[in-house]
Amino acid sequence: MASSSSSNDNDPDQQPIFPNPTGHEYDAIDKLQAELPAIIDEESQQQVDDYKEACNGGKGPMVACFATGEFLSMFERKHKEAFQLYENTCFRPLHDKSPNGKEVDGTKAYPPACFNLAKMLMTGKGQVPVDRKRAYDVFDRACRAGHGGACHIQAKMLLSPPNALGKGIPYDPYKAMDLYQQVCDLGDSVSCFTLATMLLRGDKINKQARNATPKELKGEEPILQRTNEEDRSSHKSGNKHDDEYYIPRDPKRAEELLKAACRTGAHAPSCFNLAVMYENGDDGVPADKDKAEEYKRKTEKAIQTLGGL
């Protein structure tokens, strides 16, 4: 990806914290896949051929072109051709008659295609030029078309420190919270857990500080300085514009989110956090030894069923 000629290019404060991938990160995987036999049974091959024919070079139904793109990327490693088909099915004119299209911004979109397109723009897979700003916009498009995974990634991008992913990516924790809630309501335990974690962290400690203790988060003990962290205390300045992004603690709401995650997805970390919450109590959540034991058992069951924390 060509560098900009902006005078700010050499300013460290204007550079992304996370460097752009080159796209070559996938070369080793593609080489390995190329050495493996491309095993596809006759029935599946016929389905692929039918999808290719139905897609008709990007003129056919969205689902046919999307399926063709997935086959080209996963089996034939023709990532650029797949990229073109994902772009084709993410951006169709409003009059497109594909039954799976969703109207977004006066055009039609196939949400899974937008999601795959955004991931390729984000990572540079197949030597596609990396464009994180466009990737964000396409994740947003997929999210508004109803793709929960896109909403989750968009939320993560919204929580990245300003300029961490480069210029043009907004920083908006409150919008991220809304997106996490939206996907949590659809049954995604990770989004429920992530939002609960934000609400338990609160506004008394720097958003970038790690390994905060429960008492530090609640303001019950002084915030201790840790190695490699310049200032663990909250950077609230008194300026409304700056301070509006500090999320007040809300353990009661976090409790409900953790319960949803533990129940819906048997999410072990959520079950564990509930056990700790009921063991110690929190603001608006009284200690309850019986509930603590209940969620300890649920944690153990989730670990046995799905693996570790």
CA dist 142 and 104 (Å) reads: 9
Give the model's pLDDT for residue 266: 77
Give the model's pLDDT for residue 162: 86
All structural domains of the chain: 18-171 (1.25.40.10), 189-205+235-309 (no CATH)
Give the model's pLDDT for residue 203: 66
Give the model's pLDDT for residue 122: 95
Helix (H) or strand (E) holding 102: strand 102-104
Number of helices (H), then strands (E), in the chain: 14, 2
Place of tokens 């795959």: 116
Tell me which residues of the chain have a pLDDT lower than 70. Answer: 1-42, 203-245, 265, 308-309
The pTM of this model reads 0.78
Give the model's pLDDT for residue 230: 60
Which residues have C-beta within 8 Å of that of residue 2, sequence separation ≥ 6?
A: none
Give the model's pLDDT for residue 247: 85
Q: Where on the phi/psi map is residue 234: left (φ > 0), alpha (ψ -120 to 50), or beta?
A: beta
Give the model's pLDDT for residue 44: 72
